[in-house]
Amino acid sequence: MSSDTSSVGSNASNEDEFLSLSQTMLFSRLLSVLKRDIVLPQPINIPTDQAPAVLPPTISTFIAAAIGISEAHVSSFWTIMRDDIWALPPQALTQEDKELFRKHGWKYGLSRRTRASMVMYPPSDFCTNPKCGRCKPLKKVHAVQIIVYTLASGVVPAWEVQLYCLDCNTTYYPNYSAQHGTHTYHDGDIPQYISIGAHQYTERQLIASWISYMLITSVSATNCSRAYDMGTQNPNAVFGSGTG
Ligand SMILES: [Zn+2]
C-alpha cells in the first residue's frame, strides 16, 4: 500500500489501496499507449470506441508489475479511470516508462519504440480485402519476434503482430497482406520499417543511406552491410581504440 499523498483510492480487497499522483499519471500514460493491445483480445461484440470493462490478463500483469500494485487493484483502478484513459490520446512516454516496457512488458509482446525494443502492427484492425464482406474487427492475432535494422540504434529486437481474417483467409502483416501465396502491399506512403525477409525489417532511412552510398561512392550492397555491422556491433573498430 502506498503511504504518500493519494489521488485515487480503491477497495478491491479488505484493505484500501491508493495510487499516488505519480502512480496515477504512470497508470494513465502506460494504458493510454496500450489501447490497441487492450482492444485486440476483446470479444467481437465489445465496441472499440469504449473502454472495455476488463483488461486482458497480460496487460493487467504488466501494469501491476510496472507500478508495483496487485492485479486486483489494477482491475479496480481501471474501473475507476478507464473512461478518462480511453478519452486520452496516446501520452508521451518517459525513458523510465520505456524501461518499464522493456523490463516487464517484453515477455508479453508489449513494447514501445525505444533504443532497445519496439512492436509493429498492421495499419488496420479491419480486413481491407475488397472482395471480403467482413465488417467486424480482426481478432485472430499472432505475434512473432523479429529483428529491425535501424540507423541510430543498430539491431533492435521487436514484435511483429499479425492479424488473420477468418472470412477470406488473409493474413495482415505490418507492410502487406498475404492471401493464397499472393502478397499485396498496403496502400499509402512507404512505411518507416520495411520487411526485407522472414522476421527481418530495415528502417527506411537506413535503406536510403545505403542507396546513397551505392549511387555516390559505388560501394557495393555487401560492403554497405559490412560497414553497418562494423559500426553497430563494434563502434570502436571504426574510430580506433587509441586516444589520438
Ligand atoms: Zn477478409
Instruction: Check if the beta carbon of residue 83 is closer than 8 Å to that of residue 64.
Output: no
62 inside domain: yes
Average pLDDT rounded to a whole number, residues 181-201: 90
- Is the same domain home to 210 and 175? yes
Dist. CA 76 → ligand 1 center (Å)? 37
- The letter for the amino acid at 58 is T
- Is the same domain home to 165 and 79? no
Instruction: Check if the beta carbon of residue 160 is closer than 8 Å to that of residue 172.
Output: no
- Listed residues 112, 137, 171: the one ending a domain: 112
- Is the same domain home to 87 and 189? no
Residue 146: which of 189, 181, 111 has the closest Cα? 111
157 inside domain: yes
Average pLDDT rounded to a whole number, residues 182-211: 90
Average pLDDT rounded to a whole number, residues 126-141: 87
What percentage of residues in the chain have a pLDDT greater than 70? 86
Quick: pLDDT tens for 52-104. 999 999 999 999 999 999 999 999 999 999 999 999 888 888 889 988 988 88
- Listed residues 64, 82, 112: the one ending a domain: 112
- Is the same domain home to 198 and 176? yes
201 inside domain: yes
Residue 27: which of 76, 61, 78 has the closest Cα? 78
Q: Tell the burial category of 190 from Cβ atoms under 10 Å away from its Cβ (0-12, 13-18, 19+).
A: exposed
- Is the same domain home to 106 and 19? yes
72 inside domain: yes
Burial 9-36 (b: 16+ CB within 10 A, else e): ebebeeeebbbbeebbebbbbbbbbbbe
Q: Tell the burial category of 149 from Cβ atoms under 10 Å away from its Cβ (0-12, 13-18, 19+).
A: buried
Q: Is the dihedral of CA 192, 196, 201, 205 positive or negative?
A: negative
- Is the same domain home to 229 and 119? yes
What is the per-residue pLDDT for 3? 43
Is residue 116 over pLDDT 60? no
d(CA 188, CA 195): 16
What would the grid cell of residue 183 be? 502478397
Is residue 206 over pLDDT 80? yes
- Is the same domain home to 93 and 30? yes
- Is the same domain home to 102 and 134? no
Looking at the structure of the chain, the number of domains it has is 2
Residue 49: which of 137, 114, 138, 134 has the closest Cα? 137
d(CA 49, CA 29): 18
Full domain range(s) for residue 176:
114-239
Q: Which one has a higher pLDDT value, 150 or 6?
A: 150
Quick: pLDDT tens for 9-20. 665 554 567 889
pTM over 0.85: no
Dist. CA 191 → ligand 1 center (Å)? 22
Mean pLDDT of the chain, nearest integer: 83
In the chain the beta strands, taken as DSSP E runs, fall at 6-10, 17-20, 118-120, 140-150, 154-165, 170-172, 176-179, 182-185, 193-197, 200-203
Dist. CA 199 → ligand 1 center (Å)? 24
- Listed residues 52, 78, 112: the one ending a domain: 112
What is the per-residue pLDDT for 26? 95
- Is the same domain home to 63 and 12? yes
Dist. CA 187 → ligand 1 center (Å)? 16
What would the grid cell of residue 107 be? 515477455
Dist. CA 48 → ligand 1 center (Å)? 19
- Is the same domain home to 128 and 228? yes
138 inside domain: yes
Dist. CA 40 → ligand 1 center (Å)? 16
Average pLDDT rounded to a whole number, residues 206-233: 82
Dist. CA 42 → ligand 1 center (Å)? 19
pLDDT band at residue 7 under the 50/70/90 scheme: low
Dist. CA 145 → ligand 1 center (Å)? 25
231 inside domain: yes
Burial 86-98 (b: 16+ CB within 10 A, else e): beeeebebeeebb
244 inside domain: no
- Is the same domain home to 128 and 94? no
- Is the same domain home to 175 and 107? no
